[in-house]
Amino acid sequence: MTPTVFSPTGIRFENIDKRYGGLYALRRVSLEIAAGECVVFAGRNGSGKTTLLRIAARLVRPSSGSVSFLNGGEERGGTVPPAGFVAHATMVYDELTAEENLLLFARLQGIAEPGARAETLLREVGLAERRSSLVRTFSRGMRQRVAIARALVNEPAVVLLDEPTTGLDPEGASWFAQTLRHLRDSGRTMLMSLHGESEVSTLATRAIRLDAGTVVADTLTGANFRSILAFANV
């Protein structure tokens, strides 16, 4: 992966509520994620994992409470660069080639040399030879490679992953875990939601369990760690 050029960024969630009509997706969630932490959110379907990640990405506005980005424990001033977001939906265009997708998002984010950045990313995700192929001709694993390249186009300090390994075969999941390991080791802050234990979940340095929109367990390591992840399968 590319050498780091971002400034280490933590995230603070303060009293986050999110309501859809009368239904609470999140209720009074307060968390502080330190820069460089790799946090896995576990929980049943509908426990609020996706909502929390989308609030962190600023795709969803909380009903009350606030999200702030931290630098050295202090709130970051000015405009915070967008987080890299990878979900089970690829968030790329099937009718564009891998290279066109990366160029599009690089240009939209004002990257100085979009061509060079796209080139680097394509090489890093192993798609340099398929750069001119339409994404719709790709396998699920290849699409997810384009997805992660798109998420990293602006070299984000924070990477959010919402069940990113859904539908990947073991080989694809293994490649994905390897890539995430590089990202974690480069000092990026990573928040991910997962269903159960996997190669990806072993990267986590902290596990948080959500249930009905509230945090019910939060642990760094130890016996609880595995039980939090296992609970997602119940």
Partner 1 sequence: MALLSSAAVLLGKELRTEFRSRELLTTTTVFVLIVIVLFSFSFDPTSEESRRFGAGLLWLAFLFAASLMLQPCFLREQSNDTLSALRLSVSDPFAIFLAKLVANTLFLLLTELLLLPVFAVMYNVQVLPMLHWLVLVFFLGSLGVSITGTALSAISAQARMRELLLPLLLLPLLTPILVASTEVTAALFDRSPYVQWKGVGFLAVFDLAFLTILWLLGEYLLEE
Strands 158-162 and 84-87: parallel
In terms of CB distance, is 66 or 233 closer to partner 1?
Answer: 66
The full 3-state SS of 195-227, as one line of letters, equals: CCCCCCHHHCCEEEEEECCEEEEEECCCHHHHH
Q: Which residue has the tokens 């997708």?
A: 101
Residues of this chain that interact with partner 1 (CB under 8 A) are 54, 57-61, 79, 82-83, 85, 87, 89-96, 100, 104-105, 107-110, 150
In terms of CB distance, is 85 or 225 closer to partner 1?
Answer: 85
**Which amino acid makes up residue 63?**
S
> How far is it, in rounded angstroms, from Cα 72 to Cα 2?
23
Longest Cα pair distance anywhere in the chain, in angstroms? 50
In terms of CB distance, is 10 or 84 closer to partner 1?
Answer: 84
3-state secondary structure of 140: helix
Q: How far is the CB of 167 from partner 1 (least distance, A)?
A: 13
In terms of CB distance, is 94 or 185 closer to partner 1?
Answer: 94
| 32 strand-pairing partners | 12
In terms of CB distance, is 118 or 229 closer to partner 1?
Answer: 118
3-state secondary structure of 189: strand
> How far is it, in rounded angstroms, from Cα 169 to Cα 139?
10
3-state secondary structure of 51: helix
Q: How far is the CB of 160 from partner 1 (least distance, A)?
A: 10
In terms of CB distance, is 22 or 110 closer to partner 1?
Answer: 110
Q: Which residue has the tokens 């990313």?
A: 121
